[in-house]
């Protein structure tokens, strides 16, 4: 069953996300703590059986696909390449379709999951309000994850999609990427979250993201599920690169658990210190930062009122997340915003 509106119009908002802690742990079945943002993608259009026709205010290219999608369909290039695998994942017939415009207030190449906001938003728009995909948001997240992997060849985990479609308003999301169990998390009073573009733009396809995912797979092959591996076992590895990659994953999972504890007791100073530790681990052990990003982290961290800061998202550029005292102002020449848990993708009345 679907329930757009009686005249077939579709309006929804699909947010970007910022990951508070738990970076590069999702594709090895680890723990993550993201939250949906108040900025994202707005989709407005009408149900048009037999065709998907899309345009975006961010790019000139338009997308046009006839339905049903077959295995031999010519996929559009660029931003529309996810549409065909998404339609196949959703298993929708030719009676579904969409003609729509997409508008975004997310900065491009910011590491805030604009591409996943598009895929998740379009999946909901195509499936419809009240559909089985709308009612089982984790299943929807999995379908969008698989479609994005098929479209880009980047072996992403499920964090981005889950963070975009699952959380309730005012709640961050603790996600176990092995069991897919979730738990809502409230941020403590006296803690403000800032999201800051590092000034380094990036695309995961041209980064070393897949190399890091391959390292995690090799660690799992050698040691078993990384959630069950202790630090001493990782430190005993004779491969220096794998040792550093494993050290990040094991300690990052521990940081997620500690962050939940310090949120519960309202220890905002320790919460900031965990961000600092997380960035050092990403920069030194996982090597997903660079000199420019490190310089921006240091600049933000030196601002009065900032309690901690780190690179967030896939890395190799993109955005930072900072924990601050309320009202903290940044003096940077890049895009930044105050952020609060805004809830997952939703239909607009």
pLDDT per position as a tens digit, 23-36: 999 999 999 999 99
Q: Can you give the pLDDT at residue 2?
A: 42
Catalytic residue among 26, 134, 160, 285: 160
Could you give the dihedral angle defined by the CA atoms of residues 20, 23, 29 and 34, in that order, rounded to the nearest 10 degrees? 20
Q: What whole-number distance in Å separates Cα of residue 278 and Cα of residue 284?
A: 10
Look at residue 202 in the predicted model and tell me its pLDDT.
66
Q: Which helix H or strand E contains 263, and what residues bound it?
A: helix 240-265
In order of their start, the domains of the chain are 9-186 (3.30.230.10), 192-339 (3.30.70.890)
Q: Model-level pTM? A: 0.94
- pLDDT value at position 58? 81
- Is the distance from CB of 66 to CB of 48 less than 8 angstroms? no
Decide if 331 contacts 211 (C-beta within 8 A). no
**Residue 152, φ and ψ in degrees, nearest 5:** -110, -25
**Is there a catalytic annotation at residue 7?**
no
Q: Do 307 and 231 meet the contact criterion of CB atoms below 8 Å apart? A: no
In this structure, what DSSP letter does residue 183 have? E
Q: Hey, which residues does 64 pair with through a beta bridge?
A: 53
Q: List the one residue out of 312, 337, 349 whose CA is nearest residue 160.
A: 312
Contact 187, 174 (CB under 8 A): no
Query: Would you state the pLDDT for residue 347?
Result: 97
Determine the Cα–Cα distance for residues 119 and 17; give it in Å rounded to an integer.
13
The parts of the chain modelled with pLDDT lower than 70 are: 1-7, 70-77, 202-207
pLDDT at 252: 98
Which single residue is written with the structure tokens 């999702």? 26
- pLDDT tens, 126-138? 999 999 999 999 9
């Amino acid at each position: 069953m679907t329930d757009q509106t009686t005249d077939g119009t579709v309006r929804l908002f699909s947010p970007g996300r910022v990951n508070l802690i738990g970076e590069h742990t999702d594709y090895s079945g680890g723990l993550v703590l993201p939250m949906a943002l108040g900025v994202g993608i707005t989709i407005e259009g009408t149900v048009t059986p037999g065709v998907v026709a899309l345009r975006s205010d961010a790019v000139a290219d338009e997308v046009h696909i006839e339905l049903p999608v077959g295995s031999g369909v010519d996929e559009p290039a660029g931003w529309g390449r996810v549409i065909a695998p998404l339609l196949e994942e959703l298993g929708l017939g030719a009676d579904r379709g969409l003609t729509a415009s997409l508008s975004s207030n997310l900065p491009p190449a910011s590491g805030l999951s604009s591409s996943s906001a598009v895929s998740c938003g379009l999946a909901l728009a195509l499936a419809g309000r009240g559909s089985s995909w709308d009612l089982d948001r984790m299943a929807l997240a999995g379908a969008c994850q698989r479609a994005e992997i098929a479209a880009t060849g980047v072996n992403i985990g499920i964090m981005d999609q889950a963070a975009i479609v699952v959380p309730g308003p005012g709640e961050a999301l603790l996600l176990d990427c092995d069991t897919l169990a979730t738990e809502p998390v409230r941020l403590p009073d006296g803690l403000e979250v800032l999201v800051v573009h590092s000034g380094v733009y990036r695309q995961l396809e041209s980064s070393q993201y897949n190399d890091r995912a391959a390292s995690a797979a090799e660690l799992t092959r050698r040691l078993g599920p990384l959630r069950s591996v202790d630090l001493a076992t990782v430190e005993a590895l004779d491969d220096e690169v794998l040792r550093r990659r494993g050290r990040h994953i094991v300690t990052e999972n521990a940081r997620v658990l500690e962050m939940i504890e310090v949120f519960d007791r309202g220890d905002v100073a320790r919460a900031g210190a965990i961000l600092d530790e997380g960035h050092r681990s990403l920069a030194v052990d996982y090597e997903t930062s660079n000199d420019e990003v490190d310089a921006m982290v240091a600049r933000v961290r030196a601002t009065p009122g900032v309690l901690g800061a780190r690179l967030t998202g896939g890395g190799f550029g993109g955005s930072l997340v900072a924990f601050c005292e309320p009202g903290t102002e940044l003096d940077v020449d890049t895009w930044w915003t105050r952020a609060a848990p805004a809830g997952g993708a939703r239909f607009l009345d």
